[in-house]
Amino acid sequence: MKKITLFLVFIGMMALQSCEVTEVYDTTDSGPRTEVFEVTTSFNSNNNYSSLVEFNPPIYSSDSVLVYHLYDTVNGQDIWKLMPQTYYFNDGGALDFNFDYSRFNVNIFLSANFSLNTLPSSWTQNQTFRIVIIPDGFAKTINKNNIDSVMSALKVDKSEVKKIDL
């Protein structure tokens, strides 16, 4: 009887085993695998007020993507705002700079509670964004609201930011 019980327990353990897929990160450097891109783009009705940036190679499914909008430059200091970001106008209008992403690309887009055709060019032309790709577990441990904190935590120097031409 003990042999049958032991056999059934063994079969049960085998049946309850699950598969696990583990993605391997390149740990040859001392920090997490990360990439930072900078892209300048313009929005208009021809591109449906959106801009698609492709990842080559695709990112890991567990990676996170942060996108920052270069809002202004004050005394030579860049002011970056974490997206999504909503800007409110005196007339009650609200403009959203937003994004969505997959393993293959990030789509940056504008939306508003008014016609985007009425936006001044200062909001649509030559807008600069920083796209930061970081391992998901690492994303939970940093202050994402401050791009300088993110860059410092990831040990990425401004000179390492890759410029993308669209």
pLDDT, tens digit, 9 for 90 and up, residues 93-103: 999 999 999 99
CB 69 within 8 A of CB 132: no
User: In the predicted model, what is the mean pLDDT of residues 121-132?
Assistant: 96
Q: What residue type is 66 in one-letter code?
A: L
- Which two tokens mark 89? 């106008």
CB 29 within 8 A of CB 160: no
pTM of the model: 0.75
> How far apart are alpha carbons 122 and 21 in whole angstroms?
46
User: In the predicted model, what is the mean pLDDT of residues 34-60?
Assistant: 93
Q: Which residues pair with 36 in a beta bridge?
A: 132
Which of 5-14, 44-53, 139-148 comes out lowest in average pLDDT?
A: 5-14
> Which contacts qualify for 72-79: CB closer than 8 Å, 24 or more apart?
none
Q: Looking at per-residue confidence, does 155 or 86 come out higher?
A: 86
Q: Looking at per-residue confidence, does 161 or 67 come out higher?
A: 67
Average pLDDT over the chain, rounded to whole? 81
